[in-house]
Amino acid sequence: MPIHEIRESIERDSITLDSNGYALIQKEINLKPNMSHQMLQGDLFLDNPMMPNDSSNFLYYEFMVTPTPVVYTDMNIGALKFPNRLPSASLDNVLYKSTIYQPSSAIPPVIQEEFPNRFISARPTFTWYHPKLYLTLAIHGDANKVIEDISMTFYCAVEAKKVSLVTYGMGVLREDHIAQVAAVMSNGRSIPPSRNVGQSFPMWKYGGSRAELMISGSNLASFFNRQDSMEASETNTTGRLRRMARDARQMQPNLDAFGTAGTADGDIPSWISMELFKGVESGAVREQWPPIKHADNGNVLTF
């Protein structure tokens, strides 16, 4: 299990940002194929203060190490809305990421954040299979700005292990698929603050049981009346019974009673749907398929 120490730099005499104030610099490092690679340590060193000539210039750098090429996203950075920041560190292909901030040429750049941080990166972290390492530097600043004397060095210790071709192939495919969706990652759902507590738990924040609707005595008697139509008691139509069954099955937002309130038949609670007799259904009814036949003892026969 050989351990390789890699020291590579990104250096440019000058680079001009585009009309959006954006530039990308990338370097590719070849590794041995048919191996699994694990990063044991990683560190970034700024070789040059990288002070541009314009004292009013504001610069923001992103540095990333990945086993596949990096595709920037449509997301912005900070209040200045610098466009096209690199993918988040949560992406599985990200082996190392750091952000570097320089408010002006009078102040040297500072590494603000590192992933993994210094404590975690001092021990084995991520494993990858692509026989590559890509060092990518994204620069955000003023439109058409010329940045001079860029120089930074990345160090990492990599342990390589021989693996089967199946393991290697599946690992490479996985990393390739992750790279395809890196620019379209969007996750997390928005929860209104007023609904946060209690919408899942803890229910004791509200106390008591969930509210229930009450059905009137006349509607209840009509719903469950099974007498023949020739009897003196009034009976319901099939359409009304099915409508009441549909209203009973209606889902409601959290804390509201299940069923339907304020219908033409009054409030319809959910519990009446548990007492439906044969023939009272709501909506399309599918024929039983395949047909079943019971034996004399009640068992279902298999055809």
- The one-letter amino acid code at 108 reads P
Say whether both 115 and 45 belong to one domain.
yes
**What's the pLDDT tens digit per position in 186-244?**
677 777 777 676 666 665 666 556 778 888 766 665 655 555 555 555 666 777 778 88
Looking at the structure of the chain, the number of domains it has is 2
* pLDDT number for residue 67: 94
Say whether both 85 and 43 belong to one domain.
yes
Say whether both 156 and 257 belong to one domain.
no
- Cα 241 to Cα 10, 95, 117, distances in angstroms: 76, 63, 65
3-state secondary structure of 112: strand
Contact 267, 259 (CB under 8 A): yes
To the nearest 10 degrees (0 to 180), the angle between helices 217-224 and 238-248 is: 120
Say whether both 89 and 177 belong to one domain.
yes
Q: For residues 41 and 52, which has the higher predicted lDDT (pLDDT)?
A: 41
* pLDDT number for residue 53: 55
Mean pLDDT computed over every residue of the chain: 81
- For residue 265, the enclosing domain spans 210-226+233-303
Say if 163 falls within a structural domain.
yes
**What's the pLDDT tens digit per position in 106-131?**
777 888 888 887 766 556 778 999 99
Say if 41 falls within a structural domain.
yes
Q: Whole-angstrom Cα distance, residue 154 to residue 161?
A: 22
Say if 280 falls within a structural domain.
yes
End-to-end CA distance of the chain: 60
Q: Whole-angstrom Cα distance, residue 159 to residue 32?
A: 11
3-state secondary structure of 203: helix
**What's the pLDDT tens digit per position in 237-246?**
777 778 888 8
Say if 199 falls within a structural domain.
no
What DSSP state is assigned to residue 122? Answer: G
Say if 287 falls within a structural domain.
yes
- Cα 107 to Cα 50, 57, 102, 255, distances in angstroms: 10, 11, 7, 56
- The one-letter amino acid code at 221 reads A
* pLDDT number for residue 266: 85
- What is the CB-side half-sphere exposure of residue 96 using CA atoms within 13 A? 25
What is the pTM for the complete model shown?
A: 0.63
Say whether both 73 and 114 belong to one domain.
yes
**Which residue shows structure tokens 């949560």?**
90
Of 201, 214, 276, 202, nearest to 242 by C-alpha is 276
3-state secondary structure of 157: strand
**What's the pLDDT tens digit per position in 74-111?**
888 876 678 888 988 888 899 999 998 887 777 778 88
Q: Which helix (H) or strand (E) holds 172?
A: helix 165-180
Burial of 162 (0-12, 13-18, 19+ CB in 10 A): exposed
Cis peptide before 193 (omega within 30 of 0): no
303 has pLDDT over 70: no
Say whether both 179 and 244 belong to one domain.
no
